[in-house]
Structure 1
Amino acid sequence: MSRLPGDPGPLRRLRYAAGFRLPEENHDWVRHDLTDAGWRGRMLARHLALMVPVCVLLGLLPAPWGIRVAVGLLALLSSTFVVTVNSGDIRRARLRQHGLPTPDDPDQSRPPR
């Protein structure tokens, strides 16, 4: 797969996944990431990339192994549920954060051009 115009490097992608705003030069990539087909899957993948290490750290806390596994799974499943349910609102907030148009119709995936 070829790189898109404005494709951020690994460090900027990590900052973007953590919720930071990318510079103007990356806005075409942000528009693609949040509006093209598969945006929900990419959003969920970003969330998992951030949450899996947190859940592993929770699993290292001192406790019986069953509780450590349960705490890690509870954190992962509950946060994934929240991101899945609120994905449309998260997307609109990220588009606004970067100064890009947001969809008028909640059923449409692409914003007006």
Structure 2
Amino acid sequence: MRDQTSPNPLQRLRYICGGRLPPAMSQWVIDDLTGPGAARRYMLRILIPIIPPLCLFLLIPGPLWIGLAMMALLYLPLIYFTAALMYVFRRARLTKHGLDPALADQRERDRAAAARAAYERAHGRG
């Protein structure tokens, strides 16, 4: 049996719900949490599944706008807090998989180092 480097659908669903993946998939976890599109995936994984339960507010008798307003009163703060806690969530998921939580901001550190090197080259210090 070959080593699996990306999760099958059942493993992926368990991972999305907060489960751990085998250590052989550590690179996939790092790419998922820190690679291109990580922020988009994180936001969608939290904001899309909550929509069907929120639609239950539309069953409340009364004008449609009341149900929509109640949905918005819950959904808008959820968007805000989901975005605000993204960094914390990524660090926690990395730690849960036995990885270095500092990987969560590796791209930002690399970008800052490149900007600093470019600045020093441009101003004769490099």
Indicate the residue corresponding to 1:39 in structure 2. 38
Provide Cα deviations, 1:36-90, integer angstroms capped at 9, x if missing partner.
Answer: 122111111211232222322x334423222211222222221121010111011
Relative to the length of structure 1, the TM-score reads: 0.74
For residues 69 and 107 of structure 1, the distance between their equivalents in structure 2, rounded to whole angstroms, comes to 37
Relative to the length of structure 2, the TM-score reads: 0.68
Q: Work out whether residues 20 and 96 of structure 2, in 8 Å CA contact, stay in contact via their aligned partners in 1.
A: yes
Cα deviation, residue 93, structure 1: 0.5
For residues 6 and 80 of structure 1, the distance between their equivalents in structure 2, rounded to whole angstroms, comes to 32
Q: Work out whether residues 33 and 39 of structure 1, in 8 Å CA contact, stay in contact via their aligned partners in 2.
A: yes
Q: 1:60 to 1:23 in 2, by over 3 A?
A: farther
Cα deviation, residue 110, structure 1: 6.7
- Correspondence list, 1:14-29, <5 A: 14-29=13-28
Q: Work out whether residues 35 and 109 of structure 1, in 8 Å CA contact, stay in contact via their aligned partners in 2.
A: yes
Indicate the residue corresponding to 2:52 in structure 1. 53
For residues 21 and 15 of structure 1, the distance between their equivalents in structure 2, rounded to whole angstroms, comes to 8
**Which amino acid is 2:11 matched to?**
R
Q: CA-atom RMSD, angstroms?
A: 2.5
Indicate the residue corresponding to 1:69 in structure 2. 68
**Which amino acid is 1:13 matched to?**
R
Higher relative helix content: 2
For residues 96 and 37 of structure 1, the distance between their equivalents in structure 2, rounded to whole angstroms, comes to 20
Could you say which structure has the larger radius of gyration?
2
**Which amino acid is 2:90 matched to?**
R
Cα deviation, residue 23, structure 1: 2.7
Aligned length: 105
Gap regions ≥5 residues in structure 1: none
Gap regions ≥5 residues in structure 2: 110-126
Percentage identity across paired residues of the two chains: 36
The ranges of structure 1 where at least 4 consecutive aligned residues each deviate by more than 4 angstroms after the TM superposition are none
